[in-house]
Amino acid sequence: MGSIADAANKEVNGTASEKRPAVIFVLGGPGSGKGTQCAYIVDHFGYTHLSAGDLLRAEIKSGSENGTMIQNMIKEGKIVPSEVTIKLLQKAIQENGNDKFLIDGFPRNEENRAAFEKVTGIEPKFVLFFDCPEEEMERRLLGRNQGREDDNIETIRKRFKVFLESSLPVIQYYEAKGKVRKIHAAKPIEDVFQEVKAVFSPEAEKVKKNNSCAIL
């Protein structure tokens, strides 16, 4: 007899083949400004923004059995299995009426990447990589934490190290497939968005053109 989790998985997987959304992975180090730029992309190009971290936090807050399991793993310092995060992302995609999504801060490592493609059957259209020098990211993060620079500098540098060790192999994998769109993220917000717009505008025009043809 199948478990509740199996039934939920079956329900999500059963609908996966019916919906083939456009997915863009958004990656960048802490303080690279990707969250701000995601909000701009949502406003200008109509994407839905999904954050793996937000979905995990929402699941914990819901008090579900799954949420309790996630909370206990985080408390014990364990890594939440890729499949758990992926199922939350997949569920959010299936329940949303949109067909184009920004997935922010995921995949965090090669294992996440391989599992996402295997479980969902979805390969990203491309990866939007916010490339920002470590010194600039550090300056931005410390600027957010007024008066707590000495407490946070070590933690911030650990986060940079984790990003470099875990996420760069993912970027390199997609770069080899010609799927990375690198954004120079050290510039002011508006200048960065001009670069982002140049990546998205051809896609937007293509969609617009296809829709016009369909009407004709």
Of residues 78 and 28, more confidently modeled:
28
Q: Please, are residues 93 and 21 in contact by the beta-carbon 8 Å criterion?
A: yes
* Residue 188 labeled ligand binder: no
How is the chain split into domains, by residue range? 22-49+98-202
Residue 33, marked binder:
yes
pLDDT band at 145 (very low <50, low <70, confident <90, very high): low
Say if residue 107 carries a ligand binding annotation.
yes
For residue 75, the model assigns a pLDDT of 85
Q: Is 181 annotated as a binding residue?
A: no
Report helix, strand or coil for 131.
Answer: strand
Radius of gyration of the chain, Cα coordinates, nearest whole angstrom: 18
CATH number for domain 22-49+98-202, candidates 3.40.50.2000, 3.40.50.11540, 3.40.50.300, 3.40.50.1820? 3.40.50.300
CA-closest candidate to residue 103, choices 56, 57, 51: 51
Concatenated DSSP letters of 93-114:
HHHSS-SEEEEET---SHHHHH
Q: Is 57 annotated as a binding residue?
A: yes
CA distance 162 to 155: 11
Question: Is 80 labelled a binding residue?
Answer: yes
78 is in an annotated binding site: yes
DSSP assignment, residue 146? T
The predicted-structure confidence for 35-78, as pLDDT tens digits, reads as follows 999 999 999 999 999 998 899 999 999 999 999 999 998 888 78
* pLDDT-derived band at 10, boundaries 50, 70, 90: very low
CB-side neighbour CA atoms (13 Å) of 168: 8
